[in-house]
Amino acid sequence: MLIETKDLKKHFQIGRKQTLHAVDGVSLQIEENEILGLVGESGSGKSTFGKALIGLHSRTSGTTTYNGQLLPAKFTAADHLQYSKELQMIFQDPYSSLNPRMTVLDIVGEGLLIQGQTKRSEVKDQVALWLEKVGLNADHMSRYPHEFSGGQRQRIGIARAMIIQPRFVVCDEPISALDVSVQAQVVNLLEQLKQDLGLTLLFIAHDLSMVRYVSDRMAVMYLGSLVESGPADDVFFNPQHPYTQLLIEANPEPDPETERHHKYVPIIGEITSPINLGAGCRFADRCPKVMSHCRSVTPKTTVVAAKHTVNCHLFE
């Protein structure tokens, strides 16, 4: 196993009395050379979890182990420098994640210069190489971000993360700001890089069919907690948790022919506020199968099939 969290929590204090439970006790393992897809509605804590995993957010409690080493709860500047060689992130919005005043050469080459292990004269060659690898060309390095399309900017973001040759990359909704026609290209590029470089990826997204396509395993998050995880096809075709079932029902089909016969069942209500949460199942207010004790007793993790777990009282 490459990375593991145990009961990871990330809370934010709001004023003196309120606590926002963004991530509230997530235990997860990611194997080497695996793509784990993490899904859930906006506000479920996916991005916060991804950032806490690689030290971009401090942890409130719990542990993260990377390659057998316990990562610090709060990274210092030296920790960031040390671990950024191996732990990288590709951000959601290719428009705001690239500095508009920097050229592509400076953006993509910055990480190498910070690491200090590549001579300045060699950085240009490395940037040219990586621009080619992500489907751009070396001539693009003197241009600025505004001269590119959304899909091209995301490729620049991917080159920036990959040039360091990391071992683990958090891809935080890397396709949601892109046109549908470009999404598959970027996903295929990530898969290719995973195979070529032996990468391990956490792929965060809300498009379940795309996550199933790209991932080996899938985990579903609701209001800061994991509700289901397992092999991607098992979770997608045989979802067990009421939330996962509704999420998949509400997910548009990529195939127009299947889409015509798809019966939408929207998830009722909105995700509850993650402020000052108490005991009980977080999904109780929206669950069509809610029982009386769901509101007071937090469900345990139950194994329902090989490597497939669910957090719901229906399975205990």
223 makes contact with ligand SF4 (CB under 6 A): no
How many CB atoms sit inside 10 A of residue 293's CB?
12
290 makes contact with ligand SF4 (CB under 6 A): yes
Of 242, 248, 308, 309, which lies in the binding site for ligand SF4, with binding defined by CB under 6 A? 242
What part of residues 256-275 is at the interface with ligand SF4 (CB under 6 A)? none
284 makes contact with ligand SF4 (CB under 6 A): yes
Of 10, 24, 281, 309, which lies in the binding site for ligand SF4, with binding defined by CB under 6 A? 281
Nearer to ligand SF4, 170 or 271 (CB): 271
Distance of alpha carbon 72 from alpha carbon 58, whole angstroms: 8
Backbone angles phi, psi at 243, to 5 degrees: -70, -45
**Chain centroid, CA 33 distance in Å:** 15
Residue count, binding to ligand SF4 (CB under 6 A): 13
Backbone angles phi, psi at 131, to 5 degrees: -65, -40
Radius of gyration of the chain (CA): 20
In whole angstroms, the minimum distance from the beta carbon of 19 to ligand SF4 comes to: 22
Q: Where does the chain have alpha helices with state H?
A: 46-53, 77-83, 104-115, 120-133, 150-162, 180-197, 208-214, 232-237, 242-249, 256-261
299 makes contact with ligand SF4 (CB under 6 A): yes
287 makes contact with ligand SF4 (CB under 6 A): yes
Nearer to ligand SF4, 176 or 302 (CB): 302
Tokens linked to 224:
């800061």
In whole angstroms, the minimum distance from the beta carbon of 221 to ligand SF4 comes to: 13
Of 73, 138, 277, 314, which lies in the binding site for ligand SF4, with binding defined by CB under 6 A? 314
175 makes contact with ligand SF4 (CB under 6 A): no
Spatial neighbors of 293 by CB under 8 A, at least 6 apart, are: 313
Pick the piece of the chain touching ligand SF4 (CB under 6 A) from 150-158, 188-196, 264-272, 282-290. Answer: 282-290
In whole angstroms, the minimum distance from the beta carbon of 220 to ligand SF4 comes to: 11
Q: Which residue has the tokens 């509101």?
A: 295
In whole angstroms, the minimum distance from the beta carbon of 304 to ligand SF4 comes to: 12
289 makes contact with ligand SF4 (CB under 6 A): yes
Tokens linked to 9:
């929590």
291 makes contact with ligand SF4 (CB under 6 A): yes
Q: Is 261 left (phi over 0), alpha (psi -120 to 50) or beta?
A: alpha
Instruction: Give, as one character, the DSSP assignment of residue 272.
Output: P
Nearer to ligand SF4, 169 or 208 (CB): 208
Pick the piece of the chain touching ligand SF4 (CB under 6 A) from 6-14, 15-23, 254-262, 291-299. Answer: 291-299
The CA-based angle 152-176-114, given to 5 degrees, is: 55
Of 107, 163, 190, 312, which lies in the binding site for ligand SF4, with binding defined by CB under 6 A? 312
Counting every residue, how long is the chain? 316
* SS3 (DSSP) at 213: helix
Of 49, 75, 236, 283, which lies in the binding site for ligand SF4, with binding defined by CB under 6 A? 283
Evaluate the CA torsion angle 274, 277, 282, 288 in order and state its sign: negative
Binding site for ligand SF4 (CB under 6 A): 242, 281, 283-284, 287, 289-291, 294, 299, 312-314
